[in-house]
């Protein structure tokens, strides 16, 4: 049945070749027929006939050059973009996330780009949503990930092209002169090659050859040749699974890259949000340090007044002044740390560090008002969800299928190669009648090519290597699955820890605030000295900073938990939401 199928394919190829040939020849024959109208002698007729043919060929080549010239670089770029983004759109599934912020831009990504600076609101205050939007639009590593996605889909377009008709057209002209003759020659060819899904290779071509001697008797020759060939594998290298393995892998690689991009996008958004709140946390530390310094400054002034009146010892004034200076130094250090962290965050947004921006304090206030909201997930449910939804684990799982296919392909290479080969070559009649083919005088061939498996050392090694890679991929998936479970367990423990820590720190803040609130009354009653007052202020400062740190840490832990479970989704505006199960 395989041989019969090969013969049928050869016949179909020949029929297609002849139909293509006659479509072109009929058009050319019409031009020659029009040239034969009128009462001209044979030589004049021949002269005009070839002049017309020459003109025809010139016009054809002018049209071809015109078409090629019209295809500008922008045309090719737009055509590539259209094909690439169609691939990405077709392979992008809803559970990957919103289909936004994945197209590349050819605009320069300089940190001093005015377009980037214009992304900052006139007020200079960047909200959390605006920070995420700016980052996804301008962050350099994010742009690299988008380009990597584009390039992977671009690779797929080339692999798909290997199974399409690959047309070729050539035109050559030559002027030759020696001691005896002088002539002009034109050669033209048109055809295509195609690799079919089951391994057959079809090639069809039409060639025209025209020559005119300019010296002596102006002889002219014009001929055409139709060629067609087909090669059909019957054993090794036959079948869609074998022949299309490279295409299958390229299709899956594009899907894997989409998954990786969405995984990166989730981790990227989490990191931007985390950094945003860390900067706000440092700003809160700065505000608390400044307030603490001012309170101690007031305490020092009060003690100085009492010392001048003889009500307080001078060493207590010195102690208060020392505490004031220490508080001022802490405020300066906190301010420097905040400004440094803010500049680093600007770089993450691809903003110039000299741009004056601030983060929105209302974001932290809203977080304080909400407090902590723990996810409604048990550890077992979170682990099961992660094994189902983690995109990186899905890639690792599909890698086993890829390795299995590679084993099948490698095993196919060990067998006997038997190819059915057919070809045909038909010339035109006479020296000038290029429109008529002499099929009865054509050259036809049909044969087989056999490569016995006498030397398969390379193929043997490839097969053994494929088996080992399959085992490695299985172990890699098992390891990746265990790591996913570990990630979830760690994230779950961290989330519980941060929730308990926040509760503890909040209780400590309430106690510290009570100490500060009653300190003035105790001071007036003489039951509190300056050292105790200073200690209560320091305790309040530390408690305030610890509560803010615990609140921010819990939010970051919750985001990382959602990310590790695989339920964090990036919204169209770049922010995140929890996937509804």
Q: Which two tokens stand for residue 141?
A: 């590593």
Question: Contact 181/216 with Cβ under 8 angstroms?
Answer: yes
Sign of the four-CA dihedral 538, 542, 548, 551: negative
Question: Which tens digit of pLDDT belongs to each residue from 474-529?
Answer: 999 999 999 999 999 999 999 999 999 999 999 999 999 998 888 777 777 667 77
Place of tokens 């919103």: 98
pLDDT of res. 10: 42
**How far is CA 272 from each of CA 346, 354, 574, 577, rounded to the nearest angstrom?**
11, 20, 11, 15
Strands (E), 150-200: 166-177, 182-195
DSSP assignments along 229-285, one per residue: EEEEESSTT-SHHHHTHHHHHHHHHHHHHHHHHHHHHHHHHHHHHHHHHHHHHHHHH
Residue with tokens 């027929």, as numbered in its chain: 33
Burial of 277 (0-12, 13-18, 19+ CB in 10 A): buried
Beta bridge partners, 193, equal 166, 203
Distance CA 133, CA 67 (A): 42
Task: State pTM to two decimals.
Answer: 0.81
Backbone angles phi, psi at 209, to 5 degrees: -130, 125
- How far is residue 383's CA from residue 388's CA, in Å, rounded to a whole number? 9
Range(s) within the chain of domains with CATH label 1.20.1600.10 = 130-148+248-402+464-578
Q: What is the DSSP letter of 156?
A: H
User: Please, how many CA atoms are within 13 Å of residue 427, restricted to the half-sphere of its CB?
Assistant: 9
What's the confidence (pLDDT) of residue 580? 66
Domain 130-148+248-402+464-578, what fold? Outer membrane efflux proteins (OEP) (1.20.1600)
Query: For residues 566 and 545, is the Cβ–Cβ distance under 8 A?
Result: no
What pLDDT score does 466 carry?
98
Q: Are strands 166-177 and 417-429 parallel, antiparallel or unpaired?
A: unpaired
pLDDT at 572: 77
Distance from C-alpha of 408 to C-alpha of 402, rounded to nearest angstrom: 10
Question: What is the Cα 469 distance to its own chain's centre?
Answer: 26
**Alpha carbon of 360 to those of 36, 366, 412, 515: distances in Å?**
86, 11, 63, 31
Length of the chain: 581
Q: Which two tokens stand for residue 56?
A: 């025809």
Q: What pLDDT was estimated at residue 429?
A: 67
Q: How far is CA 287 from the centre of its chain?
A: 42
**DSSP label of 159:** H
Task: Enumerate residue ranges in the chain where pLDDT < 70.
Answer: 1-71, 106-118, 179, 210-223, 429-437, 525-526, 580-581
């Amino acid at each position: 049945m395989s041989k019969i199928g090969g013969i049928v394919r050869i016949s179909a190829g020949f029929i297609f070749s002849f139909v293509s040939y006659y479509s072109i020849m009929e058009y050319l024959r019409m031009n020659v027929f029009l040239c034969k109208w009128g009462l001209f002698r044979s030589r004049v007729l021949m002269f005009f006939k070839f002049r017309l043919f020459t003109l025809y060929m010139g016009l054809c080549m002018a049209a071809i050059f015109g078409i090629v010239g019209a295809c500008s670089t922008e045309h090719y770029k737009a055509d590539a973009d259209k094909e690439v983004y169609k691939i990405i759109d077709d392979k992008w599934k809803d559970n990957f996330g919103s289909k936004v912020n994945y197209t590349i831009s050819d605009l320069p990504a300089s940190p001093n780009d005015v377009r980037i600076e214009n992304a900052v609101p006139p007020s200079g205050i960047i909200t959390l949503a605006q920070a995420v939007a700016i980052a996804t639009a301008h962050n350099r590593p994010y742009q690299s990930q988008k380009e990597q996605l584009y390039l992977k889909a671009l690779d797929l377009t080339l692999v798909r092209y290997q199974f399409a008709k690959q047309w070729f057209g050539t035109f050559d002209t030559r002027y030759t002169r020696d001691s005896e003759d002088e002539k002009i020659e034109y050669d033209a060819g048109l055809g295509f090659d195609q690799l079919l899904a089951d391994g057959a290779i079809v090639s069809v071509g039409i060639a025209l050859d025209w020559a005119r001697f300019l010296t002596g008797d102006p002889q002219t020759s014009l001929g055409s040749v139709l060629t067609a060939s087909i090669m059909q594998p019957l054993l090794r290298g036959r079948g869609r699974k074998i022949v299309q393995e490279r295409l299958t892998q390229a299709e899956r690689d594009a899907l894997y890259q989409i998954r990786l991009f969405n995984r990166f996008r989730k981790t990227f958004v989490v990191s931007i949000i985390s950094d945003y709140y860390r900067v706000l946390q440092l700003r809160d530390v700065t505000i608390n340090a400044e307030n603490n310094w001012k309170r101690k400054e007031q305490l020092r002034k009060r003690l100085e007044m009492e010392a001048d009146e003889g009500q307080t010892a001078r060493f207590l004034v010195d102690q208060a002044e020392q505490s004031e200076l220490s508080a001022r130094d802490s405020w300066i250090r906190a301010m420097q740390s905040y400004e440094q962290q803010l500049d680093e965050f600007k770089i993450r947004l691809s903003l110039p560090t000299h741009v004056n921006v601030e983060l929105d304090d209302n974001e932290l206030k809203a977080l304080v008002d909400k407090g902590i909201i723990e996810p409604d997930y048990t550890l077992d449910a979170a682990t099961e969800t992660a094994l189902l939804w983690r995109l990186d684990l899905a890639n690792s799982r599909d890698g086993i299928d890829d390795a299995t296919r590679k084993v099948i392909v490698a095993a196919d290479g060990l067998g006997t190669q038997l190819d059915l080969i057919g070809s045909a070559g038909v010339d035109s009649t006479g020296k000038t009648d290029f429109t008529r083919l002499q099929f009865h005088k054509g050259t036809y061939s049909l044969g087989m090519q056999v490569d016995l498996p006498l030397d398969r050392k390379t193929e043997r090694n490839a097969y053994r290597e494929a088996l080992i890679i399959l085992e490695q991929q299985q172990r890699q998936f098992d390891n990746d699955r265990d790591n996913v479970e570990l990630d979830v367990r760690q994230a779950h423990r961290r989330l519980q820890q941060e929730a308990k820590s926040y509760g503890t720190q909040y209780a400590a803040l309430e106690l510290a605030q009570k100490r500060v609130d009653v300190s003035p009354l105790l001071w007036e009653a003489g039951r509190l000295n300056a050292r105790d007052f200073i200690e209560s202020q320091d305790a309040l400062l530390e408690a305030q900073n610890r509560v803010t740190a615990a609140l921010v840490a819990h939010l970051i832990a919750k985001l990382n938990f959602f990310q590790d479970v695989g339920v964090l989704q990036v919204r169209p505006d770049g922010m995140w939401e929890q996937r509804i199960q």
